Amino acid sequence: MKIEEIKASEFNEFAKTHILKNFYQTAEYGELMSHSDFSVMYVGGYHDNNLVAASLILYKSIGPNMKYGYAPRGFLVDYYNTPLLKAFTKKIKDFFFLRGFAFIKINPEVTYATINFDDQSKTVSSKNKELIEVLKELGYDKLRDNLYFESLLPKFTPVIYLPNYRLDNLDEKLVEEMKTSELKGVRLVSGKEEDIPTFYKFVEHKNSKTETYYKYFLKTFSKSNMVDLLLLELKYETYVKFLQKQYIFEQENNEAINYEFNKDTTNMDLYNAKLESDKLMNKISADIALANERMQENQMSEILGGALIVKHEGRITIEITGQNADFVGIDIKTYLYYKIIEEYKKAGYLFLDMNGITADFTDKNPYKSLNDFKLKFKPTTYEYIGEFDLIVNKPFHQLLWSTNKIQKEFYKPAIK
């Protein structure tokens, strides 16, 4: 086994056929991250002149003459071939030791367990549980398992297998509401680079990424047709017409409730129904007023939200979504996810990666609303084996730890 630095094109050819292929381990992602404070290299492991393992390595300085590396979603290697993994690990350590690296961080996309949120249980893969012990024996330092989003990439990921997925099997009220959203004048449209400033307004509060980052993201991945910018557009005129009909219907319902309630003012069911009807009429009135105000300003439509979607080898990943909350009568986020599932299922994609959730089953979970939102689409939730540091230079690593540099670089609060 020997390790060599390889070209991005050679790496991509290997990566796209590997069983652990993912968009984080692509030359496109490497190009994107080269515009950040990371440098990028691609390494390959050769056995008898055959490329048998490879990885994108992001790296940066973390101390005087000291660097660390990061292989997002782990090395592309057969983790179950212990002799290969052992040889690759040794040569990787030797290769990066000579280049002043202290450690290399990995977070392989290898499943540890399948989570069942209904009965708060998990089904653990015994094979992959054993793999954790193998990695430890080979010098990989297993980091503390996160409960929320403390690690660089989510440890818990909900995934939908699209070919067998039926939207009609979702909650009946949800499906009906989504079909009604189309009657309201909401539609999914494709965005372009000039739409990034609008999209960024929806997501700027979610992380530390800049508008420029998303411009590079779209530009870089577009070269390989690996990204879609999707936007939700609302046509005001269609929406107002729908609301006017809805208001008339609810007004008649409200009058009927009032009539019955006046005959029996002690009936709490009627009282609560009246409150709900009054609330709905106020919402409808507010949305009509807002839409009319916009149309008076010669604005006939509006972008309500959007999503950045990565497409890679039959799998789509919802990288990030965002929306405004101006129109209370439209469930923008749910409709956005609903249409994403519908459109990419039609397009023949296999998997939809909904990105991370947390493993806190309790009602005190600060991210419970995020969990509940994604889980209502009935995905399968996978727990990956976690985050590891391959210690390349132990004295360097100990020095960085004792001077708090590693903690400052990686440790973030569990709750924002």
According to the model, what pLDDT value does residue 415 have?
A: 47
Q: What is the pLDDT of residue 410?
A: 86
* Mean pLDDT of the region 276-288: 94
- Predicted confidence at residue 412, as pLDDT, reads 60
Residue type, 276: E
pLDDT for position 144 = 83
296-352 tens-digit pLDDT: 988 899 999 999 999 999 999 999 999 998 998 899 999 999 999 999 999 999 999
Q: What is the pLDDT of residue 192?
A: 96
Q: How confident is the model at residue 107 (pLDDT cuts 50, 70, 90)?
A: very high
Mean pLDDT of 217-235: 97
Q: Which pLDDT belongs to residue 416?
A: 46
Q: Kindly report the pTM of this predicted structure.
A: 0.91
pLDDT, mean of residues 386-395: 96
The pLDDT value recorded for residue 18 is: 97
pLDDT bucket at 37, cuts 50 / 70 / 90? confident
pLDDT, tens only, 394-406: 999 999 999 999 9
